[in-house]
Every structure is written in structure tokens, then in C-alpha cells.
Amino acid sequence: MKDKLLITLLACIISFSSQAQFTKWSLSGGLGITSYAGDLDGTGISNMKPALNFEAWYKLHENIQIKAGTSLYQLAGNDHVASRNRSFRANHYELYAAAMIVFPVDRLDFFTYIGGGITKVDPEGISPGWIVDLPVYDVEGQSMESTALIMPVGLGFRYKVTPTFAVVFDAGYRLTNTDYLDGVSRFDIPVNSLSRAAVSYHNSVRNNDINTNASDNATFRGGNPDLNDLYGIFSIKLQYIIPSKGMNLNNALPRLRR
């Protein structure tokens, strides 16, 4: 019995000692670009805008890591339907966490990930001479939620320049549960459900073709509520790999293959 306990204790000590040689936490930050796909875009992707991203990684296993992050990003889209003319812009943020599958090759770590999170939803309509806060103006006669759920999916790679510093390239899409990132969703918008301010907005972008004296069932075309909006972020980040206590930095990086 004592021999079994001793063996178990030795195994735990060896396991703890070996784990102490590997870093667990990494912190990163960097710049990127965003792209938007939704009702206003006719090509499936449009209007590159800037993004700022910060992440923390935690290693569970050589091939499994988890990460959590936040981004400040902009979206924009020019309406491909000239008669509708509901171009928009937005300044948003997102918070998320994801599970990562990692494939290390020398100093390169290739990874793919999937996760969940939330994003702000606050589009602004671009109207001649003024910018309209679309949720406040209630421009489709129904309320917009101020946040939406997202599912980040993507891939990338990390190159370890030194034992404690790396460069990360990350390309991912955010699938959402909202069709209001661009402020356009409702298929038919009933005129009698709109406020005066909303009517003024629509007339400013549609050349005053909305008649508030029309019949009670008068409508005009909006978007497609059956397809949710999405956006993508490509970012390049610098990462600090926090050394573990007792870690030998001289032997922390594998030698490059020739």
C-alpha cells in the first residue's frame, strides 16, 4: 500500500514539474479590418473598416486552448438598391470566448476555433445632410435589440519569434442572430406604423416618395428578414507569452527544420 502511495506521489510530482515547464497564459493585441454582409450589400462582402482587438489565451493541452477577447470595430455598407438608398455605418464592440484546436509545427501554431459572445447593435443611417440613429428613430416601425448573440468561427496561425513574443494572424467570421446590424430587415414596412421622424428619414433617402396620406395598408420595401447579417474580422496581433515559473527560455523554442 505504501509503495502504491509513493508511486502515486512521485507521479504527481513529476507531472507538476513537467507542467511547470510550459507556459499557460498569452496576451495579445493588434489591428485589423472588418467586412460586412447583409441586406444592403449586393456582393456578399463590402466596405473594409478598421478594428482593434485584444485577447487572452490559456493552454489546456498541446492541441487545445481557450481564448477570450474583445474588439472595437466599425461596419459600413452602401445600399446596392438605388431606390431604397439606406446606406449605413456603425461603431460597435464585441465580447467573446472560443475553444481552439491547435496544430503546432516547429515555431508555427496553426489553429481553428469556434465560440460564442455578444455584439453591440447600433447602426446609423446616412442621409443627405444628417446622420440618423436608426434604433432611436424606429425607422421600420419595430424595435431593434441593442445587442445580438454572435458565434465566432475562424482560423489562423501564430509564429513564435522568441520564447515570449509571437505574431498572430487571425481570420474569422461572426455569425449573428440579428438582421439589424445594418438597420434594414423588415420585408414590407407599413407607413402608418412610422413616426414623423422616421418618415422624414425615409423621404430624405427615397426622394420624398412616401405618402403619409395613402391608404392604411400602404407599405414600401425594406430588406429580407429571413437572412441574418454577419461580419468578418481579419487581424494581425502581437502576443506576449507569459513564462511559467522555472521555465527555461533557452530551450522553450523548437529548432526550425531545414
Q: Which DSSP letter does residue 161 get?
A: S
Residue 122 lies in a domain: yes
Residue 253 lies in a domain: no
Higher pLDDT, 49 or 14: 49
| CB-based contacts of 17, cutoff 8 Å, min separation 6 | none
DSSP per position, 8-54: HHHHHHHHHHHHTTS--EEEEEEEEEEEEESTT-SSS-EEEEEEEEE
Mean pLDDT of the chain: 86
- Grid coordinates given for 237: 496581433
Residue indicated by cell numbers 461580419: 231
Residue 149 lies in a domain: yes
Distance CA 232, CA 13 (A): 45
DSSP, collapsed to helix, strand or coil, labels residue 155 as: strand
Q: What is the CATH number of the domain that holds 88?
A: 2.40.160.20
Specify whether the CB–CB gap between 73 and 34 falls below 8 A: yes
Full-model pTM: 0.84
- For residue 7, is pLDDT > 50? no
Residue 251 lies in a domain: no
- pLDDT confidence tier of residue 104, bands split at 50, 70 and 90: very high
pLDDT at 130: 84
Q: Which residues span the domain enclosing 37?
A: 23-186+227-245
DSSP, collapsed to helix, strand or coil, labels residue 196 as: helix
pLDDT at 82: 86
**Mean pLDDT (whole number) for 61-90:** 93
Specify whether the CB–CB gap between 122 and 90 falls below 8 A: yes
pLDDT at 57: 97
**Number of domains within the chain:** 1
- pLDDT confidence tier of residue 217, bands split at 50, 70 and 90: confident
pLDDT at 13: 40
Residue 175 lies in a domain: yes
Residue 154 lies in a domain: yes
Q: Which DSSP letter does residue 228 get?
A: -
Residue 178 lies in a domain: yes
Share of the chain above pLDDT 70, in %: 82
Distance CA 75, CA 89 (A): 6
- Grid coordinates given for 233: 474580422
**Mean pLDDT (whole number) for 178-187:** 94
- Grid coordinates given for 68: 477570450
Specify whether the CB–CB gap between 199 and 137 falls below 8 A: no
Residue 161 lies in a domain: yes
- For residue 206, is pLDDT > 90? no
Higher pLDDT, 20 or 219: 219
